[in-house]
Amino acid sequence: MTRSLPGIRSTPSSSPIAPAVKRRKRNAWTVDDARWFLESTWHAGEALYAAFVLILILGLRKGEVLRLTWELIDLDAAELYVGERFQRVGHQLLRREVKTETSEAPPARVVRHGAQDP
């Protein structure tokens, strides 16, 4: 039995359509933007420069970079293996497998930069 109040035509629960969510449009960086960023962080001596290279050049996700350990990196062969990632769930940081099968590709070639070239 539904009761109706005077002057009220419907209740919020009577409309099954959720309001549209406005999403902020993200602008992707251009090659020049990425180059400028990497050069700037290189010259500034940024401690996370290597992580930025892995994200921008190899396309690794933040959680994949954070999960890398020395056992997964072969500097002599210039390779690294990405098989796990960190994921934040609530207040915990959990180890998970990579998101997609293409993420679990053979070891990636590490981009090397000389001391002079960013």
Q: How far apart are CA 6 and CA 61, in angstroms?
A: 56
Residue with tokens 């070239």: 117
With 0-12 / 13-18 / 19 or more C-beta atoms within 10 angstroms meaning exposed / middle / buried, residue 53 is buried
* pLDDT surpassing 70 at residue 92: yes
The residue ranking higher by pLDDT, 114 or 77, is: 77
Q: Are 66 and 52 in contact (CB under 8 A)?
A: no
pLDDT at 19 over 60: yes
Q: What is the pLDDT of residue 114?
A: 45
Tokens of 113: 């930069």
- Residue-range domain boundaries for the chain: 30-109
Per mean pLDDT, which range of 15-24, 33-42, 70-79, 86-95 is the poorest? Answer: 15-24
